[in-house]
Every structure is written in C-alpha cells, then in structure tokens.
Homo-oligomer: A and B are copies of this chain.
Amino acid sequence: MTQVIVVNGGSSSGKSGIVRCLQAVLPDPWLAVGTDTLVEAMPASMRASDGGIGFAPDGEVIVGPEFRTLEAAWIAGIAAMARAGARVIVDEVFLGGAYSQRRWREALGELRVLWVGVRCDAAVAAGREVARGDRTIGMAASQAEMVHQGVTYDLEVDTTHAEAMECARTIAAHVE
C-alpha cells in the first residue's frame, strides 16, 4: 500500500492544484502538507533573514542554515505521521534537486513512496505566475528546470497541456 506520495515541481507548475484534485479522487482521506506549510510555520523573521528564507528580486529562493535545521525536523515529523497511519501527500519544491530528494528518501526509509515529478514549460509557468498575482515574479522560470536536476521519479506529469484533474487521475492510477 502506498503510504506517501511526494509531488515535486517548481513554483506555479500546478502542484497544489494537482494535490487538491488527488485528495478529491483518492478513495481514502490523505493529508496534504508541503513547503508552503513549513514556510508558514516558520517565524516571520526567518522569511526574510540570513538564517531563514529569502526571495531575491529575480525570484530566486535563498535558504539559510537555520531553515535547513528546522526543515530536517519537519521532514522527520512528516515521516512519523505516515508511520503512525496517515496517508500523506507531500507537496514539495526540491530547490536542492537530487540532494533534496535524498533527504526525504532517508527520512521516509521503509515507507512505500510514490515519487511524482510535475513538469511545466517555463514560459507557461511564468504566465501562470502573473495570472495568480500572489507570487514573486521570476520564481516560476528560475525553478522550472532546477528542481528536477538529478531527481528520479516513478511517474511524471506535465501541466503544460494537461489539466490538474487529469494529472491527478493519472497519479491516482499508480497508488496502491
């Protein structure tokens, strides 16, 4: 039985929409948590500090050592939720590419994980970033390729031409 679904993709690639559709189409209730949940849980000061997370004017995300420390504990906690019986969807942005995946893989250990990559053409994602109106412009383009560097998946979907619901159904078909 699949216990964790890790969905990785760049900003404005459509991950969160896919995750909400997944929660709607999967027969069991799944918890959905992710990078956004973690950032919101951090002190406000860390969203703009040297030790925390910052957004460069061109949309690049800069993450400091204190962020990495809290994140490690966060990942361990999410893994523990799954071990305690919750089925969990993780909505992630692997800013460190393969390195980010390794951290999750080690924490998730023996749990049965479905690794999903969400692709989106950089120019299309950049347009959606403008349409959303609540993101720092430039993040979509700068992350589109970077987050997939060296990452391996069980399954990839591409939102450039496919709807979130369609991608969710494809993923759901791989959940055991």
Contacts and interface: CB of A to CB of B under 8 A. Distances in A.
Contacts of A166: 127
Given A18-B131, A130-B20, A131-B165, A85 B66 contact: no
- Chain A interface main SS type: helix
A81 B77 contact: yes
A66 B69 CA distance: 32
Nearest to A41: B31
Interface residues of A, number: 53
B86 A127 contact: no
A74 interface: yes
Interface string A19-60: 011011000011111000110111111100001100000000
